[in-house]
Structure formats: structure tokens, C-alpha cells
Chain A
Amino acid sequence: MLSILKDLLRYNREFAAGAALLGIVVAMSAMSALAPMPPDDVYVVPPDLPPSWTYLMGTTSRGQDVFWQLSFAIRNTLLFGFIVALLSRILSLVIGLLSGYLGGFVDRVLMSINDTFIVMPLFPILVMFYFVMRDRMSWAALALVMAGLGWAYDARLIRSIAMSLRTRQFTEHSVYSGMSTRQIVAQEHLPYVMPIVFSTTMNNINWSIGLEVTLSVLGFTNINTPTIGVMIYWANQHTAMTAGVWWWVFFPVALVIMVFIGLFLLAVSMNEYIDPRSRLSRMRSAKT
């Protein structure tokens, strides 16, 4: 595993760039542990100061240091994306693998649920959740809702692979040697789909962070937990752009774009590691 990472870093520029971008973002979120003040406190520093050596990224109109505020925001946003991806991966793996392997009635039931989720428009549903839950709509609740909505496409993808695996010799052999469904799915089929799961995880993190930012900017989330979207929300509330406090918007947006690009590059380069054919074509083009 380590040697693969080393090779990817050395030979794959996309991977190196993506890893560097994400490294910066993760370092930034790690800074939150060193923050001199809690993220909820307001008017702890003089408001509206531009970036300087004292306040690296300036201060907000609410008297917060943008640098430290941003470290909390990006930490929460990353964690949010990660949790949504983790939960929805578990859902899509279990549903996709079981549906593909068992087939028949189970498959029909699971896939009709799955298709329902695919055709449902997510954004209005998320807004509706906010209007129903209002103050109870915490960061964790939103993560759960998003995870519950974000598994369907990938479950279908995984199901299609599981269906082909079901007909392979080694599956028949596993059945014949008396392995249970759980063992076959977890031990024989899961390793097969893992590369795809890695790749879709990146996309899923991107998707959930994007939606979270959208909802937060519009104020449809808990606006007291700092996330990238919530920061932009408060900046908009204080008309930061028209007031000339551009750093309040610029740094969160720049950082979240780094997350997007970083994850995208990782997903793309991971794909190359997974698919030997694209690796070969790269090697050929490198030679000529």
C-alpha cells in the first residue's frame, strides 16, 4: 500500500497535486485544535480588519478572526463530508452487494426503493427537512439525512458488479463449499468492489460538501455551527462583499474549492491505479 502511494506520488502528477491540496486543507482543519478562542464567541477581536500579520486572514464584521474561524469551519465541513460518505457507502455496499448477489425478490424490492431515491429531487427534500425540523436540524441530523439520500446511484453501480460476480466460478465454489451469504458477500465480493468504492467516496464527499454549502449559504441549516457554508452565510448577512470585507468570503471559498479540486484529482488518479488499461495508455504516451 505504501509503495503504491509512493509510486502514485512520483509518477502521477494529478495524484501529487490532489494530495498536496488536500494536505493543506487537512492541515488547516488541524489548526482548529490550537485555536485561542472558541468558535462561537463573537467580538473577541476588532471587527473588519484586512489580512495582516496579526490577523492572517483578517477579521469579520462579527469580531471573529477569519483564520481560526475558518479552521473550525473546514474541520466541520470535512468531517461532515466524511461522515456522509462513510454512512452512505455502508448503505450502498450492503444494498448493492445483497441485491446483486441474492437477485430475485430481494433484488426487486431493494431496487425499487433504490430507483425511487434516484428519481427524487434531493434539494427540495433537504429544504423541506429544514422547514419541518427547524431548530432541531443539527449538523449531525443533516449528515444522517444526506447519507440516507446519497447512496442510491452507487448502490446500483455496486449491484451491477455483484450481479456479474454472482455468476463467476469462484462464487459457485464458495456456495458449494458451504460459505454463508454474509461470508460470500463480505469475503469474496467486497474486495472486488473496493476500488470503485474508493473512487465513489471521493465523489460522494464532494457532492455532500457542495450540498451542505448550498443549504448553509441559504440559511437552511443550523447557522450556529461554523461550516464553510455558514461562514459565507454570515458574510452575506453582513453584506461583506458590498462593505468591502472580501476576505470574509474569499478565504472560505478558496479553501472549499481546494477541497473540491483536491478530491477530484484524487478520484481521477485513483481511477488510473484501479484501471490498468488507462495506466497502460499513460505509459505508452510517456514513451513516445
Chain B
Amino acid sequence: MTAGAPTTVGAAGQGVAEAPQPQPVLRVSDLSAFYQTHYFGIVREVRAVDDISLHVLPNEIYGLAGESSCGKTTLIKTIAGAIQPPLNVVGGSVKFDFRGQSINVYESTPEERNAMRWQHLSYIMQGSMSVLNPVRRVRHSFVDFAFRHIGRSMPDFLDTVVGHLERLHLRADVLDAYPHELSGGMRQRVTIALATVCRPEFIIADEPTTALDVVVQKGVLAMIRGIQREIGSSLLFVTHDLSVHANLADRLGIMYAGHIVEEGPTAELFASPRHPYTVHLIGSLPRVGDAAPKKGLEGVPPNLADPPPGCRFHPRCPLAMGICSRETPVMEWAGPGRRVACFAAEKGITA
């Protein structure tokens, strides 16, 4: 990886001196994307991604966690530039900075976005088991999706694919199989191969290991990490499964109701969560030797079409104060590489 010149990215308001960081590959600033529908005179707006900023460094694995329907998928869809109405970007920007080539996803032409895909940025969508067309052989999926982007001759391309599959412990004959002839783990690995065959600098994955049992999941995770280290790309991935994050992610962002509420290096985040939501999320994980019954969090996630005022977590928050229902907390730096959006955490109170 090209270690860029020292920059001041994310240094604003950061009291702690930090080692010079390489230029981030992905910079998301103040991104908001809403589902906007307008039927029969009724305007409905679901604020699935609301004012989110984050960055991902080269060679880094960034995990996004949060419960179902908190906007994880919408966020990475928006980052990948794969949105369709009724989902619209209403503010902010998504900038990729590939080796010497930068692109602002929502200010570029479709051609520019197209040229970036697969070559620099690949995206494994949710339900990656069904990314392969069930009535076509696996070979065709590779040719249809990746061939146009790799810029090589067909035999050369197929050689590359076979070599790449080997790295994921898949035999070349899976290319001639139909997806239903492969096991779940194999299909998942084929999908990963599909996303990484062009050696992109940035990989976005939505629940890459969901629907796999833990044993297969462990193997697949190791392969994702291996291939990511090998081609030196960055990975942004989403899953609600915190144990996967603990295994894979270098840095972790916790989402709640369309906001990122806490962010930090995975190990630190697990060791000392600051945001009360994170505390409960991590507290819900079973630990070896811990026989105490787990306590659930009261209430349900808010309706994103009509979120509560102030901090969106305050109706369920055990630490809620008066200010929480009036003002929205902003993401603030809380130690090296850590950010948290919570009034209580600001004052040093933790759940």
C-alpha cells in the first residue's frame, strides 16, 4: 500500500496526538439518505441514514454493527452508489480515493461510477448466497460481472479466475457447476472470489457470512481476511453478529436508528464501550463461564419515519437525562481513534 503523506483527516477537535495516518480510501461526510415516497398526497420519509461521517483507511477492515433495521444496509448501499428511488441521498458526500484516482460518488457521471466498479470497488450484496444466477453456470457469473472490468483477454481472465478460486480452496470445476450444485460455504466463497477477482482496493460486503454455521463461518472469515491482507484492500462490512466483528474488524462502528453512535478500534470498543447502547449490545454476548442471565433492553428500535426528538436512543436509555430528549448528541472524539455520540458518555458516566 502507498502510505500517503501525513494528513489532518479527522484531527479536528482531537486533543490527542496521533501517529501520521495514511490517506483514507473512503471518506463519508455528513451523509444522509432517506427513503422518500410520495403517493396519493402522502409524503413519507424514512431517515435510514442520517448525518453519518466515517472514514476507512487503506488495508483496514471496518465493521458496521447494529440491530436489524437500523440502516446498516442502506448506509453501505449508499456508499457503494447502488441506490434507486425511493432511496435518495439528501445531503453529504461519499468520496473514494483510490491510488491516485479520486471519485465523489454522488457528483460523478454514471460512466465514471461504472469504471470504478469491480476494478476499484466491489460490493457483495446482502443475501450473497443468491448473487449467482441459479440457471447459469458459475463461469457465466464471473464473465458477466467481472470480465468487462478487468480488461484482459478471455483465456487470460479465466486463468486469473481459476488461480483466484484456488486461493479460496475451490477447484476449477466449480466454474462449470450451477449454483445449486454447490454447498452454502462454497457458494459464499465463490461470491467472495467474484468480489475480489479484480483485486479492488475497496470491498463492501453486506452480511458476508450470514446463513453459514459457525464452523464454515470461521473458515470463510479467515479467507476473507487472508485475501484482504494479500491484495491489500480495505473492507467495509456489515453484520449484526458481533462475534464476527470481534473476529474480523480492525475498527467497529455501532449504528442505532440511522446514526453511528460509537466508533473505535474493535478490541478497545469491546473492552470499554462508552455508549449505553454499545454497552448493552456487547453485554448481550454470551461469555465462557458467565452463567448470569442476560438482561434485555426494554422497548423497541424507533420508527425511522418518525424518530424521537433528541438522541434517538433516549426512550430506551437507562442513563437518559433531560438534555437527551431535546438535543441530538454529535459524534465526539473520546480517546485515540474513538468517537461517541452521547451526552452521558461525555460526562464520563457509563452504563
Contact = CB atoms under 8 A, between A and B. Distances in A.
A194 B306 CA distance: 46
A170 B130 contact: yes
B243 interface: no
Contacts of B140: 187
Interface of B: 80, 82, 114, 117-118, 123, 125-128, 130-136, 140-141, 144-146, 148-149
B127 A169 contact: yes
A191 B144 CA distance: 14
A174 B130 contact: no
Contact of B144 (A168, A169, A187, A192): A187
Contacts of B145: 173-174, 177, 179
Contacts of A187: 136, 140, 144
A170 B117 CA distance: 16
A7 interface: no
A174 B194 CA distance: 12
Contacts of B141: 170
Mostly, the B contact residues are mixed
Contacts of B114: 178
A188 B133 contact: yes
6 contacts: A170-B130, A176-B123, A183-B144, A191-B135, A192-B133, A192-B135
Contacts of B144: 174, 177, 179, 183, 187-188
Given A170-B141, A187-B140, A176 B128 contact: no
A173 B145 CA distance: 8
A169 B130 contact: yes
B117 A169 contact: no
- Closest 10 A/B residue pairs (Cβ): A177-B145, A178-B114, A169-B130, A170-B133, A191-B135, A169-B131, A192-B135, A176-B82, A173-B131, A169-B127
Interface residues of A, number: 16
Contacts of A173: 125, 131, 145
B148 A172 contact: no
B7 to A, nearest CB: 30
A187 B133 CA distance: 10
A45 to B, nearest CB: 54
A191 B146 CA distance: 20
A172 B135 contact: no
B124 to A, nearest CB: 9
B118 A172 contact: no
Given A173-B145, A188-B133, A178 B117 contact: yes
Contacts of B148: 177-179
A174 B148 CA distance: 12
Given A177-B145, A192-B133, 6 more contacts: A170-B132, A170-B133, A176-B80, A178-B118, A187-B140, A191-B136
B209 to A, nearest CB: 16
A177 B131 contact: no
A55 to B, nearest CB: 52
Contacts of A178: 114, 117-118, 148-149
B40 to A, nearest CB: 17
B82 A172 contact: yes
Contact of A172 (B125, B136, B146, B149): B125
Nearest to B118: A177
Contacts of A191: 133, 135-136
Nearest to B146: A177
Contacts of A183: 144
Nearest to B116: A178
A200 to B, nearest CB: 17
Given A187-B144, A188-B136, A188-B144, A176 B131 contact: no
Nearest to A192: B135
Interface string A187-198: 110011000000
Contacts of A169: 125-128, 130-131
A123 B169 CA distance: 62
A264 B145 CA distance: 40
Contacts of A174: 144-145
